[in-house]
A and B are shown apart, each in its own frame.
Chain A
Amino acid sequence: QVQLVQSGSELKKPGASVKVSCKASGYTFTNYAMNWVRQAPGQGLEWMGWINTKSGNPTYAQGFTGRFVFSFSFDTSVTTAYLQISSLKAEDTAVYYCARGRSNYDFWTGYYVDAFDIWGQGTMVAVSS
């Protein structure tokens, strides 16, 4: 079946880096974008951005630039996407989700039909000294 399986929880010290993996199976990896979503404890969902798994081009959410150093990558040979976060701070403590993105243009309405249709189970990253 189609699924995304993420790596396990991480406990990091401030200033450290972490790399979260997201293993895709059950579909052609390069046919869909991969999105990353953050959820701080008790808070809502925040879209971090996405990576085009055909071209490798990443798009990062504007609200994260400046205070948050992260990057997206993937390895098609193992159908796995990665989120790397550097210079971790306590406020980066959150659950990080990967989510498969689909986007189709509806010619009848002239609208794009977007959705995050498959989600990983989430990876908890805790930052504490």
Chain B
Amino acid sequence: SSDVTQDPVVSVALGQTVRITCQGDSLRSYYASWYQQKPGQAPVLVIFGKNSRPSGIPDRFSGSSSGNTASLTITGAQAEDEADYYCNSRDSTGDHRVFGGGTKLTVL
């Protein structure tokens, strides 16, 4: 079982806004980071901290957090955003990291 949980499947119409969420008690104390993984590729960091993007990540990706829920928002989803998205945070002990089960995003 995972300390943080994600919806398995989310879809969004091309150009629309989509929010992918990650829930868990540890998120009240620790930030989540978000990773995009396309088929056959290694994961890529897209959001970390309060709402930071690594160099090269489009500004349509943003992050937020409230209570026990962290969110990744894609504003104006593009076809190339279709991928699996994983959140990661510390567990309740703070000593270990844990991934959510992943969300498969389909862009219609």
Please give the residue numbers on chain A whose beta carbons come within 8 Å of chain B beta carbons, in ascending order.
Answer: 35, 37, 44-47, 49-50, 59, 61-62, 97, 99, 106, 109, 111-117, 119-122
Contacts and interface: CB of A to CB of B under 8 A. Distances in A.
Given A112-B90, A114-B33, A47 B42 contact: no
Nearest to B6: A44
Given A115-B48, A116-B88, A46 B43 contact: no
Interface string B44-59: 1100111010100000
Contacts, number: 76
A40 B71 CA distance: 25
Nearest to A102: B48
Interface residues of B, number: 29
Given A44-B102, A45-B86, A47-B97, A120 B42 contact: yes
Given A97-B43, A121-B42, A45 B35 contact: yes
A115 B101 contact: no
Contacts of B29: 111
